[in-house]
Amino acid sequence: MGDSPRFALFEMQTFTSADIAGMELLARVQFATSLPGAKPISLIGTTDRDGQTNLAPFSSVVHLGSSPCLLGMISRPDLVERHTLANLTEMRAWTINHLHPEILDAAHQCSAKYPKDVSEFDATGLTIHNHPGFPAPFVQESRFRIGLELEDVIPIPINGTRLIVGRVVLVQVAEEFLMPHGGIDLVGLECLASTALDTYFKLQPLARLSHSKPDAITRRL
């Protein structure tokens, strides 16, 4: 009898780029947006120079560096009005407001295409939290909020999207969620993750592992 496999193995189906291109539009969007796996989901808060506020859920926020502390996110092409992109370009600032289950439905509603003169704060009942001297609105109900200044907008010519690069200038979170090793307790905060444009997850802790080195076996901390 041969050794039984160490891991569960599945019969794989292979999709080529031609298969993906041939998918019906909505199925292709669902398929393509599932490819990176679960992603963070947060509400991006912006305003224009007349004080017209805006909120939109974004799942493309990514860590770009710790020194300086940089975050990036991807904006869809501006073939139609993109209020988040226009506002943060104008004011050079935006906020990231992490979600928890109680505000998920309101946050999802913010992805609807409201006209520019309708604030998603008013449309959903979420509350504006202003920080003195910072030009973009935070979501008061969010438990973990970040303020950023615009560093760069990098065009991605192949599809007209843009990588927006921001420098973290403010972080707001209750002290009880700061962990002794320096991390932030995303599980305690009940932060959410997402795939596609309609599927949301809670986080479940699995492990913290030791720093890996060629001459030492990974340990669970």
Ligand X SMILES: Cc1cc2nc3c(=O)[nH]c(=O)nc-3n(C[C@H](O)[C@H](O)[C@H](O)COP(=O)(O)O)c2cc1C
Binding site for ligand X (CB under 6 A): 41, 54, 56-60, 73-76, 82-84, 108, 111, 113, 194, 197
- The nearer residue to ligand X, 91 or 177, going by C-beta atoms, is 91
Burial pattern 194-218, b for ≥16 Cβ within 10 A else e, equals bbeeeebeeeeeeeeeeeeeeeeee
- The nearer residue to ligand X, 47 or 54, going by C-beta atoms, is 54
CB of 125 to ligand X, least distance (A): 17
CB of 111 to ligand X, least distance (A): 4
Q: How far apart are CA 149 and CA 170, in angstroms?
A: 9
CB of 100 to ligand X, least distance (A): 15
Torsion of CA 177, 178, 184, 188, to 10 degrees: -20
Task: Determine the length of the chain.
Answer: 221
- The nearer residue to ligand X, 111 or 172, going by C-beta atoms, is 111
CB 84 within 8 A of CB 46: yes
Which class for 36: exposed (0-12), middle (13-18), buried (19 or more C-beta within 10 A)?
Answer: exposed
- The nearer residue to ligand X, 52 or 172, going by C-beta atoms, is 52
The CA-based diameter of the chain, rounded to the nearest angstrom, is 74
CB of 85 to ligand X, least distance (A): 6
